[in-house]
Amino acid sequence: MNAKTERIVCGLLIAGMFLPALLLPGVGALVSALVVALALILLSNSRRPMLALVWRSVPASILLGMAVGTATAIGFSIAVEPLIAALTGEPVDLSDFDAVRGNVPNYLVMLAVGLIFGGIVEEVIFRGAVIGWGSAAFGKRLAWPLAVLSAAVFGITHLYQGWSGVISTGLIGLILGALYVLCSRRLLPCIAAHMTNNAIGITAIYLGMG
């Protein structure tokens, strides 16, 4: 595949991921995941930039990600989300997670979904595919604009949490995108950060603290 063809295919892939995610907040991400899976199977050019994992070393990648994820979860809970709620007049709507509160089986299922789909699949979609392959196809200078774009769409996919949820998750997406770019476009720190943030958030909901 020549460079021009790769740019066209990559652009179509990004559009194919974003449209279902935007049109069907929440469940649309499943369609986006299918698009990415097909790209990985059919397009060999996409695999290396999309799936580059390790920054420096596996322990360094995981520890950095866990630190960022923990700081993000605590910082957003204490300061960022209350500020967003004050500005929008409404808190983040977590009513879709009410079944998790105090219910161990539901908590474990949601934790697994949050770790596997949220922590891994969403990172491959929003960071690996959009920023990783996008910057490989269109040029590294576009890594930061693509990080902003992916964060905006990431936020909108959480519209079921209300506009406060869109803003909050969009900002988290921006943090994850920045982490991805600063770690030489490697996924493992972002996966660890996303998993940690989700684990803390879901556990807080289970305990009635979220």
180-205 pLDDT, tens per residue? 999 999 999 999 999 999 999 999 99
97-106 pLDDT, tens per residue? 999 999 999 9
Mean pLDDT of 141-151: 94
- Residue partners of 47: CB distance under 8 A and separation at least 6: 40
* 8 A C-beta contact, residue 7 and residue 136: no
The pTM for the full model equals: 0.89
Nearest to 185 by CA among 63, 51, 66: 51
pLDDT on residue 60: 98
Helix ranges restricted to H, the chain: 3-23, 28-42, 44-51, 58-75, 81-88, 104-113, 122-123, 134-138, 143-156, 162-182, 187-206
Q: For residue 2, name the pLDDT band (cuts at 50, 70, 90).
A: low
Domain ranges, ordered by start, for the chain:
3-206
3-43 pLDDT, tens per residue? 777 788 778 877 877 777 777 776 677 777 777 777 777 77
